[in-house]
Structure 1
Amino acid sequence: MSRRRKLSPEERELWSKVAASARSLRPEKRNHAETLPTPAPEITPKKARPDVRDFRIGQSAPDYAFRHDLAPSIAEGLERQPVLMDRKAHRNMTRGKLEPEARIDLHGMTLAQAHPAMTRFILSSHDRGCRLVLVITGKGKRGFDEGPIPQRQGVLRHQVPQWLRMPPLGAVVMQVSQAHLKHGGAGAYYVYLRRPR
């Protein structure tokens, strides 16, 4: 970028003769640049730096120590599912007003024992024409937890909703929801079955 130098008196005189002989391309507009004095550039004072307080990294972050389990609970997952059955029957079922026609208790069983037992129970209940059955899993025991990853309480309680969605049970199960307190609460599930064909 080149700097402008000041014109000598001879150069200024020569420039004024050239400028006087020049014709404007647009006569209605006058060249105001020559008539107006150039304003002096404004010097803005520098702003003072704000005082910076002492801080710790992460001091303004919210405390998430109470939220160690990021996965939604079983009840939340079941509530998010769309209602496929009659809404009035669903409301009565979740309020504990419908009585289950059959029930199975999986307390004390391992996963290897509980899965085939529950599969037999659901399929035989469907063949008999039952519509609402109760699967009791229990709430589970709190295990010895030393690791950084929290362990879920109740292995069967977490596994049963998945089994009910998978084949062969997925074809006969219409709706799964957590049982009312009088039928076991968080330790049991209502399983609403499709009509047999």
Structure 2
Amino acid sequence: MTYDSAATRARLLAAAYDEFVQVGFAGARVGRIADTASANKQAIYAYFGSKEALFDAVLGDRLRVLADVVPFTPADLPGYTAALFDELTSDPSLQRLTQWKMLERPEASDQEQEAHLTKAGDLAAYYGVPLTTAMDAMMIALAAAQSWNTTAPTIRNPRDEDAGARLAAHRAALVAAVTATVGTLLGEPAGER
């Protein structure tokens, strides 16, 4: 039997993703991850160096997948937010991983910093606004995209509306909110002034 380093690394990432989603960073056990991946604990340290680095690798991997599935266009921040919302509501595990990350390791990783700054830089250039203003708009859009999974499922619906209709109404509201944010913070694109 030949040893496949890339396959072992991929199995470790998949097992770690499942473990971190279920129990968070603090509750995750390196031994369980290794067992699930049919590897040994030493492989985790050889590939990733530490549990912290493994968590960062899992987040980075999921951010790359998310970036591929939901491409960013500075000309349509509301559309980007809606597409991100759709992806997050269709994959509750990703939302849960993000929530664990925010609870247990609230500082932004280098990959998160780079992703957010790149998008904010694109917004700043497109609208001709300072980077800090574009970053504010980006953070509002990201918070809006995550809003359903953060609160809505835990709040009882007093009118017993259809869950699909409620989700659609929430999506429409967040698009309207981000559209207002664009108008308030960003204004017209730089080329249209």
Same fold (TM over 0.5): no
TM range (shorter): under 0.3
Greater helix fraction, Structure 1 or Structure 2: 2
TM-score by length of 1: 0.22
TM-score by length of 2: 0.22
Which of 1 and 2 has greater Rg? Answer: 1
Greater strand fraction, Structure 1 or Structure 2: 1
